């Protein structure tokens, strides 16, 4: 028997060595592996189909769990939650039929993971409700030391989120629920503290945490949490030294990240009327903070914008204050302090205009003007960019009598044609109170040396970073609007092409998948916060679009759109307004949606448009490439196929959006489909000239 066993073992080893690796797997494992490979290569649609085939063969939660995490890694939080619910909902039904400790433990484990991911980078309202359900799973019988740590984390996150979001009813519910749970003392503590804070009973909140810090209470991290919350409460009461003292104590713990107290420092600085310092702290806080080694998006962004508005107003910059109060309402449209502050500020600005006799103050940013010296150039025109600051707000800017693009807060820019020799440029800025001021300088156009037309060479002094915002609407809530298969996959393919071939880094590529109207506005605000005036931005939208012939208007349909309610659609005009507010030098809008050609004010450039000039990289551009004119486009996009192919196969160091469109997209798409892609300028968003330039690595 022994030689036979040895022979069998040898044959088994030989079988393993000589058999292809995949042949050793079961059918479901092969399917999942194939799906993983498709997913990694950017074929998300086929990859998910294969993974779901694997799940049919072997319906275990781990397969769906891995699929959910893939969606989370992409930034598709709604897709993640949808798949996760496929795991959790059956367990909920089991608990409903057979409510016992074992089933509740299974449910709370899955809920805990989902809640944690939503707290960190998902939907805070959903996270809060999952936290409540997770704590409900404790029932009134579960006890034991091992239960304390994970539930302390759930208690803290749920109560803090409810406080930040102003959900007093949740805090009341948490308090009552915690009283019924064995070892629920931590829940009682957290809910009581945040209830006191919500009710502005700051002394009661402070006394509660002082006692916790002194006694400990046997809770893990109890002193750390108490010190953190004391710093927060003392900042609210204006006891600045004590607030800073407890913040410094808490920071000695290794679990406290670099940005944990930026809001506290900002509040202290505002209390001390150190408004510039406060703005610096808030700018950092808005970007997120680190908690237990994880970067967390701030839940209460609307409060941060409101605080920054207070600081801006304290510095006398009423226009920036107005913008911040408006930004607060983007994140929470019913936030009463911001509503009241905005109303009071606008009233103050209107009243101020009746007595304002001070004209705007003009600062010329481009070209670089030195007093007493002329600006020299060989170009046929010059970009003039500047800032006309005025407390009443800017009404208009003219250069040599012609209106140029300007914003109420004072930014202006425009291209001015030049004749050979000396050119006098007169900038006149007028504020909303009717006050005007002029600034005069000269630009000398020298005779250009004849040179061969080559690819664009961006001006070195204008170098900026590249950003991308990728928007994909795929799964619609209204059954009357058919869901799509490919928008998210197309967005990921574009992301891969930009990262692999051009100067785009991962942290500067933002995604928003299956957004509603509020999600889009928030994400555009987030992107705008990180941009400098010399940076470049691509905005990509894939999803449904619609054209209303009676109004001659086009709309984007985001995932909360209702087919029979035009008020739930995003007008293209609103999209252009949002783009106009983004402070980038070059913005390229790429849309793959039905009737997407309606974003253009003008007809756009045709295939025989002249070659781009060297100076185009210096001019502010707002251009768009759309997959169709006023027609429907298919879900499986031919336009995207040729766009990705053009970006991937391009060998030129510098490629303009116009050149890519003419040489690689329009003819190829029209030969294969009935749709007509378009390239054009977005005049209403501040286009001056030039183009978006893709720069190869």
Q: Is the pLDDT of residue 631 over 60?
A: no
Reference 82, options 104, 64, 100, 98; nearest CA is 64
Residues 457-498 have pLDDT tens digits of 444 445 789 999 999 999 999 999 999 989 999 999 999 999
Domain extents in the chain: 1-59, 71-191, 200-253, 257-355, 361-445, 460-695
Q: What is the pLDDT of residue 301?
A: 92
Task: Give residue-wise pLDDT tens across range 339-366.
Answer: 999 999 988 888 888 888 889 999 988 8
Give counts: helices (H), strands (E), the chain: 24, 22
pLDDT of residue 588: 93
pLDDT of residue 161: 92
Banded model confidence at residue 596, pLDDT cuts 50, 70, 90: low
Residue 334 has pLDDT above 60, yes or no: yes
Percent of the chain residues topping a pLDDT of 90: 44
pLDDT top residue among 268 and 251: 268
* pLDDT value, residue 437: 93
Residue 260: predicted pLDDT = 82
Nearest CA to 270 among 259, 285, 258, 280?
280
* pLDDT over threshold 50, residue 82: yes
Q: How many Cβ atoms are within 10 Å of 294's Cβ, its own excluded?
A: 13
What is the average per-residue pLDDT within 280-299? 76
Asked if residue 394 has pLDDT above 60, the reply is yes
Measured CA to CA, the distance from residue 213 to residue 46 in angstroms comes to: 55
- pLDDT band at 1; cut points 50, 70, 90: very low
Of the listed ranges 26-40, 413-427, 597-611, 643-657, the one predicted with least confidence:
597-611
The one-character DSSP state at 665 is I
pLDDT(455) > 50: no
Q: Which CATH architecture fits 460-695?
A: 3-Layer(aba) Sandwich (3.40)
- The tens digit of pLDDT for each residue in 93-150 reads 999 998 888 888 889 889 988 998 888 877 889 999 998 888 888 765 444 444 445 5
pLDDT score recorded for residue 339: 95
What confidence category does residue 610 fall into, taking pLDDT thresholds of 50, 70 and 90?
Answer: very low
List alpha helices for 332-474, DSSP H.
336-355
Q: 126-136: b or e for each residue (b if 16 or more CB lie within 10 Å)?
A: bbbbbbbbbbe
Residue 697 has pLDDT above 90, yes or no: no
CA Rg value for the chain? 29
For the segment 300-323, the average pLDDT, to the nearest whole number, is: 94
- Cα–Cα distance between 252 and 358 in angstroms, integer? 51
Pick from 398, 313, 379, 371: which is nearest to 347 by CA? 313
Q: Please tell me whether the peptide bond between 29 and the residue prior to it is cis, using omega within 30 degrees of 0.
A: no
Could you tell me the pTM of the whole model?
0.84
pLDDT number for residue 647:
93
In tens, the pLDDT along 11-29 reads 444 444 444 544 567 899 9
pLDDT score, position 255: 72
Q: Which residue has the higher pLDDT, 258 or 525?
A: 525
SS3 79: helix
Looking at per-residue pLDDT, the higher value among 353 and 602 belongs to 353
Q: Which residues of 350-388 are buried (b: 16+ CB within 10 A; e: fewer)?
A: eeebeebeebbebebebbebeeeeebebebebbbbbbbb
Q: What is the pLDDT of residue 382?
A: 87
The helix or strand, by DSSP H or E, that contains position 190, with its residue range, turns out to be helix 185-198
Contact of 155 with 188, CB cutoff 8 Å: no
Residue 544 host element (H or E): strand 544-548
Residue-wise pLDDT for 43-69, tens only, equals 999 999 999 999 999 998 999 999 999
Q: Determine the pLDDT at residue 86.
A: 95
Domain 257-355: homologous superfamily in CATH = Tetratricopeptide repeat domain (1.25.40.10)
pLDDT of 456 strictly over 50: no
Region 172-178 average pLDDT? 88
Collapsed DSSP state (helix, strand, coil) of residue 270: helix
Contact present, 431 and 357 (Cβ < 8 Å): no
Q: What average pLDDT does this structure show over 549-566?
A: 86
| For range 508-527, the mean pLDDT | 92
Assigned fold of 361-445: Immunoglobulin-like (2.60.40)
Whole-number mean pLDDT of the chain? 84
Distance CA 330, CA 523 (A): 10
Cα separation, 214 vs 204, in Å, equals 16
> How far is the C-alpha of 544 from the C-alpha of 561, rounded, in Å?
10
* Ranges 167-181, 237-251, 286-300, 595-609, most confident: 237-251
Task: Tell me the pLDDT band of 218, cut-offs 50, 70 and 90.
Answer: low
Task: Report d(CA 186, CA 677) in Å as an integer.
Answer: 60
For residues 37 and 378, which has the higher predicted lDDT (pLDDT)?
Answer: 37
Q: What's residue 264's pLDDT?
A: 95
Mean pLDDT, to the nearest integer, of 291-315? 84
What is the CA angle 253-258-260, rounded to 5? 80
The pLDDT of residue 459: 44
Q: Would the CATH topology of 257-355 be identical to that of 361-445?
A: no
């Amino acid at each position: 028997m022994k030689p036979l066993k040895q022979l069998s073992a040898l044959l088994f080893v030989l079988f393993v060595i000589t058999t292809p690796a995949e042949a050793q797997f079961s059918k479901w494992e092969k399917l999942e592996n194939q799906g993983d490979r498709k997913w990694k290569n950017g074929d998300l649609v086929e990859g998910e189909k294969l993974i779901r085939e694997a799940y049919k063969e072997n319906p275990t939660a781990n397969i769906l769990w891995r699929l959910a995490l893939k969606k989370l890694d992409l930034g598709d939080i709604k897709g993640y939650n949808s798949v996760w619910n496929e795991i959790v909902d059956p367990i909920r039904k089991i608990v409903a039929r057979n409510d016992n400790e074992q089933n509740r433990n299974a449910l709370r484990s899955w809920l805990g993971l989902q809640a944690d991911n939503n707290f960190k980078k998902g939907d805070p309202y959903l996270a809060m409700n999952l936290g409540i359900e997770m704590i409900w799973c404790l029932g009134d019988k579960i006890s034991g030391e091992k239960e304390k740590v994970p539930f302390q984390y759930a208690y803290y996150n749920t109560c803090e989120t409810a406080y930040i979001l102003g959900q007093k009813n949740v805090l009341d519910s948490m308090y009552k629920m915690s009283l019924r749970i064995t070892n629920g003392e931590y829940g009682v503590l957290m809910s009581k503290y945040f209830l006191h804070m919500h009710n502005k009973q700051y002394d009661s909140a402070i006394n509660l945490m002082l006692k916790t810090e002194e006694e400990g209470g046997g809770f893990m991290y109890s002193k750390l949490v108490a010190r953190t919350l004391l710093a927060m409460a003392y900042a609210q009461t204006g006891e600045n030294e004590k607030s800073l003292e407890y913040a410094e104590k808490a920071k000695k713990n290794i679990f406290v990240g670099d940005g944990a107290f930026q809001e506290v420092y900002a509040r202290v600085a505002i209390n001390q009327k150190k408004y510039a310092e406060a703005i610096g702290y808030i700018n950092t806080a808005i970007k997120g903070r680190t908690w237990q080694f994880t970067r967390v998006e701030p839940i209460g962004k609307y409060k941060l914008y409101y605080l920054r508005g207070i600081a801006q107003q304290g510095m006398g910059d009423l226009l920036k204050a107005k913008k911040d109060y408006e930004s607060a309402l983007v994140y929470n449209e019913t936030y009463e302090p911001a509503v009241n502050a905005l109303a009071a500020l606008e009233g103050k600005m209107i009243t101020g205009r009746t007595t304002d006799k001070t004209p705007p103050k003009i600062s010329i940013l481009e070209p670089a003007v030195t007093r007493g010296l002329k600006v020299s150039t060989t170009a046929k025109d010059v970009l003039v960019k500047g800032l006309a600051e005025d407390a009443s707000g800017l009404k208009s800017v003219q250069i040599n009598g012609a209106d140029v693009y300007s914003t109420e807060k004072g930014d202006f820019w425009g291209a001015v044609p030049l004749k050979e020799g000396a050119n006098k440029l007169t900038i006149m800025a007028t504020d909303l109170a009717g006050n005007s001021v002029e600034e005069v300088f000269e630009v000398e156009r020298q005779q250009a040396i004849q040179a061969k037309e080559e690819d664009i060479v961006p001006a070195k002094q204008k170098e900026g970073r590249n950003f991308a915002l990728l928007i994909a609407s795929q799964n619609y809530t209204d059954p009357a609007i058919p869901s799509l298969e490919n928008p998210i996959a197309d967005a990921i393919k574009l992301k891969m092409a930009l990262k692999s071939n051009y100067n785009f880094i991962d942290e500067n590529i933002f995604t928003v998948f299956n957004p509603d109207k509020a999600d889009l506005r928030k994400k555009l605000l987030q992107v705008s916060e990180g941009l400098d005036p010399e940076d470049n931005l691509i905005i990509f939208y894939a999803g449904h679009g619609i054209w209303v012939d009676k109004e001659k208007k086009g709309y984007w349909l985001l995932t909360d759109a209702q087919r029979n309610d035009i008020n739930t659609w995003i007008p293209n005009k609103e999209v252009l307004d949002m783009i106009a507010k983004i402070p980038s030098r070059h913005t390229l809008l790429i849309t793959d949606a039905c009737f997407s050609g309606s974003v253009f004010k003008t007809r756009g450039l045709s295939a025989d448009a002249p070659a781009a000039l060297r100076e185009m990289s210096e001019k502010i551009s707002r251009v768009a490439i759309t997959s169709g004119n006023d027609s429907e486009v298919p879900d499986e996009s031919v336009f995207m196929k040729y766009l990705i192919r053009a970006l991937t196969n391009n060998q030129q160091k510098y490629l303009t959006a116009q050149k890519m469109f003419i040489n690689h997209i329009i003819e190829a798409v029209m030969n294969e489909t009935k749709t007509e892609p378009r390239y054009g300028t977005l005049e209403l968003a501040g286009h001056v000239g030039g183009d978006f330039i893709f720069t190869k690595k």
